[in-house]
Amino acid sequence: MIKKIFYGMFVMCMMLTYSCKDEDLAPIITFDQAGKGAYARLVELRTGEFDLNNLSTSAYDASVDFVDIDGGNTVTNYDIYVSYTDNSPGGALSKGEQLYKAYTAGDFGTSTKGNVGKDLNIPLSDLTTLLGLELSDAELIAGNFFNVRTTITSDGVERGFSNSSSAVNGPAFQGHFNFAIKVTCPVADDRFVGEYSMEYVTTEEGCFGAAFDAAPLPNVTISTVAGSSTKRTMGVTYLPVFGGFAVTLEIDLVCTEIVTSDNDSGVGCAASIILGSGENQPFDFDDDSEISFQFVEFAEGDCGCAAVPYTMKLTKL
């Protein structure tokens, strides 16, 4: 009886937590009501990575606009700073932050949303010159990335990620101050997509039971992600023993390894249950018939659950 009561309370808690998470809902307050000042917003991401196969011509390509009480007209400056992170042991090639561009109002245009904005084209060659890196695959290694930090000045006040509210930087207002540009091997949009069967490679279950039900698992559909040639997503039903929750998992095909992104499941007990990144899994870049990925299920806070790694195998149908 005690077990049934615990499960009932757990399900209610998860349902309450999950029902509050709806990325498609508009903010419950408008920007001018919130009094957020001004911020940069991503309007379109056309190319969000650097291509290891085309180092001399590769460029980040996007459009941003500025949101304030006057369509971005209070913004006078837009500054872009860049650094480089070397993920190899020791990180010997990492480079500290440098100012890349300092744009003023005369450099701005009008975005497709009608606000003052700026088209961004950032060549890889510009950044290697700025930071003192060689434009070669010896220093630009797959999985390394350029960190971009931007600020805007509005009404004489400089604003960035660090002094903007969580509402602005979250999905509701779509703030776009800081981002990373990954160095990678682009994957064609018709590769590693479509319908795949999914099965467990590991057999251990978390304290909430099987993540995606017992075998055989439903098939999944893998889709591309806008602005990235290497990222793929798939929709899964998480914790079907408690009724099931729709969750999107994201993986990244980084030249020779599959990297799993951290995903907040939107479900919680005492805190959020995170489907976090596990160990990178090798894959054949030229063969999309079979891939594997790993995530780690863990609950933030005191949910009384140990972290459990899940390795999943996908086979193209």
pLDDT in tens, 101-123: 999 999 999 998 899 999 999 99
- Give the C-alpha separation, 170 to 191, whole Å: 31
Give the per-residue pLDDT at 241.
80
**In a domain? residue 295:** yes
Residues 47 and 177 reside in one and the same domain: yes
Q: Are 105 and 118 in contact (CB under 8 A)?
A: no
Q: Which of 43-47, 83-87, 88-92, 255-259 has the lowest mean pLDDT?
A: 88-92
Task: Specify the higher pLDDT residue, 276 or 26.
Answer: 276
Among 2-6, 105-109, 130-134, 285-289, which is the least confidently predicted range?
2-6
- Decide if pLDDT at 7 tops 70: no
Tokens encoding 316 = 């193209």
Closest CA to 64 of 173, 217, 190, 176: 176
In a domain, 29, yes or no: no
Taking 90 as the threshold, does the pLDDT of residue 276 lie above it?
no
Query: Tokens 């949101």 label which residue?
Result: 67
Identify which of 251, 308, 309 has the alpha carbon closest to the alpha carbon of residue 283.
251
Question: Mean pLDDT over residues 71-80, rounded?
Answer: 95
Give dist(CA 272, CA 268) in Å, integer: 4
Residues 111 and 200 occupy one common structural domain: no
Residues 199, 275, single domain; the answer is yes
Residues 46 and 157 in one domain: yes
Q: What percent of the chain has pLDDT over 70?
A: 82
Sign of CA dihedral 170, 176, 178, 182: positive
Asked if the model's pLDDT at residue 222 lies above 90, the reply is: yes
User: Residue 203 corresponds to which tokens in the numbers above?
Assistant: 């057999």
Q: Is the pLDDT of residue 264 over 80?
A: no
Same structural domain, 277 and 256? yes
Per-residue pLDDT tens over the stretch 144-161: 899 999 999 998 999 888
| Domain-terminating residue out of 115, 150, 184 | 184
| Residue 176 and residue 39 in one domain | yes
The answer on 293 and 270 residing in a single domain is yes
Which CATH number characterizes residue 295's domain? Answer: 2.40.128
Provide the pLDDT for residue 21.
45
Higher-confidence residue: 303 or 169?
303
Angstrom distance (rounded) from CA 296 to CA 314: 17
In a domain, 276, yes or no: yes
Do 169 and 198 lie in one domain? The reply is no
- Distance between CA atoms of residues 112 and 125, nearest Å: 28
- Domain closes at, from 135, 160, 184: 184
CA 37 to each of CA 116, 226, 285: distance values in angstroms, whole numbers, following the listed order: 15, 29, 46
